[in-house]
Amino acid sequence: MVLRLSTLFLRTLREDPVDAEVASHKLLVRAGYIRRAAPGIYSWLPLGLKVLGKVEAIVREEMNSIGAQEVHFPALLPREPYEATNRWTEYGEGLFRLKDRKDADYLLAPTHEEMFTLLVKDLYSSYKDLPVCLYQIQTKYRDEARPRAGLLRGREFIMKDSYSFDIDDAGLDASYAAHRAAYLRIFDRLGLEVVPVKATAGAMGGSKSEEFLHPTDVGEDTFVRSAGGYAANVEAVTTVVPPAIDFSEAPAAEVKDTPDTPTIETLVAAANQIAPRADRPWTAADTLKNVVLAATLPTGERRILVIGVPGDRAVDLKRVEANIAGFLPVGGEVGIEPATEDDLKKHPGLVKGYIGPGESLDAAVLGTEGKTGLLFLVDPRVVSGSSWITGANLDGKHVFGLVAGRDFGWDGVIESVEVRAGDPAPDGSGPLEAARGIEMGHIFQLGRKYAEALGLQVLDSNGKLTTVTMGSYGVGVTRAVAALAESNHDGRGLVWPRNVAPADVHLVATGKGTEIFEAAAELADEFEAAGLEVIYDDRPKVSPGVKFGDAELIGVPTIVVVGRGLADGVVEVKDRATGEAQNIALEDAVAHVAALAGK
Ligand code: ATP
Ligand code: MG
């Protein structure tokens, strides 16, 4: 059906919405694709639904092509399955929880691992039933702390989520590989550049994981890449670990008076004064900074921990959050923040400005005052035999030549410090550079965590009960619409890639004569008969300037103008992206535009 602007439910706006920060948000609202209903919650208008439908169709085709089968779950779910996996608690404040009239707990699903697992458990019982892969394109709810940038981070959004079920690890690897390939095809067809980056398993547990990031400055994710092809989410970057050092000859550690040296800078200056090195000056990298952090567990419990890192590196709280899981008593989203004065007061073993490596510090060096009883983790650069200047847990004192593995130990090693441009890629493929991106998709080897929690077992070929292994895979469908708008616009409006544009051609009739409108209406019908999707601006009393402005704002790839040229038997065919215009004989217009549209 030709979309006639005289009747299409659309009002374009000249002004940007006041709450919009990024171009995609401004333009999608101004061009009449979406309207805000509440923070992070949007209504879709006819043009928006067209684009959304095209994105969904591409995603659906590629999922079907790897043999995934479409299902559809409710968004409103009972508490029990999420209780079984502990996510009712672990999801924290991000979960929309509600009650029915009988006071039973419900939630609006943020993602559907539990329901898919239970469905397969319900119906399947043998290895012969596997592998199976199911998906849905469905609305998700997350009470995001900072809904932002319109559709980019919503509280209600559409996701394609799929789940693979395999009998063994090799099967999971194959399912994962099929998804990876399908995702690359999806983003290629959408015309959305993505970089697959290594990611951390995060709150969901599991092992192998990659995110598909669309590089753009408005992205919230920082990732790094090397010229040699390494790419990883900053959270997932691993440090090139220096070799262990033989400490058999290392001199004994020595506590020195270092008054008024509560910062790394003052400490380094003091060290160079009171104990200068012969070979080179001390630098911040020679010091071990013991950073006190507070972890808020999903249960609300607050735990204090200490991380020892080289003094020249800042702790990156997001890296800590992503990598802390195994060191705390419960899984789930953990919030990490610097410890407060109050926290420190509760632990008198921590002497502010002079904090040492805590619990494990050798009592022979420091006496028992050094003990803090707190979880103590170190950066991977703190290898056995490395020697440090660090706090002595005594006011105004530091210890010199404290040797890791000899004078102090640790409860674990954690990737926790900032990754810097120039750091070596862990695979030896060169120095890293930083970039920003939006996460468009995520593929994830979930493993047996959910199957175990929910009892999804099948009989294997020997008749023994075996726990199924799963993968979980997501594409942000509404986010893709926003990312496409973000990366395809200019000063005048949206510039949709053909595959997702709301129409193939935007036909504009300008002038007063009825013959112009008659010819344009006929041309619109002919376009449609040729299989083209048409927006036709048939508004009788609207100026050409307004019509052209709207056409550019809406962003259909080809604009055809029926106007003054009609007297000479020509129409103007304009490329929205390049602005190039060409006069084409009226009788050739359909074939010409069909060829442009590839139809
Ligand atoms: P993010 O790190 O951006 O919060 P996530 O890691 O929580 O995303 P997943 O749980 O992996 O996201 O969800 C799969 C996909 O759903 C993401 O890759 C993203 O494209 C999309 N998505 C996630 N959260 C949102 C949101 N709040 N608004 C729109 N799309 C989202
Ligand atoms: Mg993710």
Q: Which long-range contacts (CB under 8 A, 24 or more apart) does 277-284 make?
A: 282/389, 283/312, 284/310, 284/311, 284/312
- Using DSSP's 3-state secondary structure scheme, residue 292 falls into strand
Ligand 2 centroid distance, CA of 557 (Å): 32
| Domain at 14-237+433-486, CATH from 3.50.90.10, 3.30.930.10, 1.10.460.10, 1.10.645.10 | 3.30.930.10
DSSP string of 315-375? B-HHHHHHH-GGGSSS-S--EEEEPPHHHHHT-TT--TT---SGGGS-HHHH-GGG---SE
Which residue has 């919230």 as its token pair?
220
Q: Which of 320, 326, 398, 334 is nearest to 361 (CA)?
A: 398
Ligand 2 centroid distance, CA of 288 (Å): 33
- Our mutation pick for probing the ligand 1 site, out of 55, 159, 195, counting the most ligand atoms within 8 A of Cβ, is 159
Domain definitions of the chain by residue range: 14-237+433-486, 254-413, 503-596
Q: What is the pLDDT of residue 395?
A: 87
Q: Which of 322, 317, 325 is nearest to 294 (CA)?
A: 317
Q: What is the pLDDT of residue 349?
A: 77
DSSP string of 421-462? TTPBPTTSS-BEEEEEEEEEEEEEEEETHHHHHHT-EEE-TT
Instruction: At 568, list the tokens.
Output: 């000479």
Residues 6+ apart with CB under 8 A from 518: none
| Domain at 503-596, CATH from 3.40.50.800, 2.102.10.10, 3.10.270.10, 3.90.870.10 | 3.40.50.800
Atom of ligand 1 nearest to the CA of 142: 27
Q: What is the pLDDT of residue 201?
A: 66
Q: In order along the chain (599 residues), what is the average pLDDT of each group of 10 residues? A: 95 88 94 94 97 98 98 96 89 93 97 95 96 98 88 95 96 97 98 91 68 92 89 89 93 91 92 93 95 87 92 94 83 84 84 75 44 83 95 89 91 93 92 93 93 94 95 97 96 96 97 92 97 96 95 98 94 97 96 95
Ligand 2 centroid distance, CA of 571 (Å): 48
Which residue has 């259909």 as its token pair?
556
Atom of ligand 1 nearest to the CA of 220: 3
Q: What is the pLDDT of residue 358?
A: 60
State residue 148 phi and psi, 5-degree precision: -155, 160
Q: What is the pLDDT of residue 331?
A: 66
Q: What is the pLDDT of residue 17?
A: 86
DSSP string of 98-155? EE-TT--EEEE-S--HHHHHHHHHHH--BGGG--EEEEEEEEEE---SS-BTGGGB-S
Which residues does a 6 A CB cutoff place in the pocket of ligand 1? Answer: 111, 142, 144, 153-154, 157, 159, 439-442, 474, 476, 478-479
Atom of ligand 1 nearest to the CA of 438: 3
Output the pTM of the full model: 0.83
- Our mutation pick for probing the ligand 1 site, out of 24, 235, 442, 478, counting the most ligand atoms within 8 A of Cβ, is 442
Q: What is the pLDDT of residue 187?
A: 98
Residue 385 half-sphere exposure toward CB, CA atoms < 13 A: 9
Protein residue closest via CA to atom 12 of ligand 1: 442
CA dihedral 125, 126, 129, 130 (to 10 degrees): 110
CATH number, domain 254-413: 3.90.960.10
Q: What is the pLDDT of residue 174?
A: 97
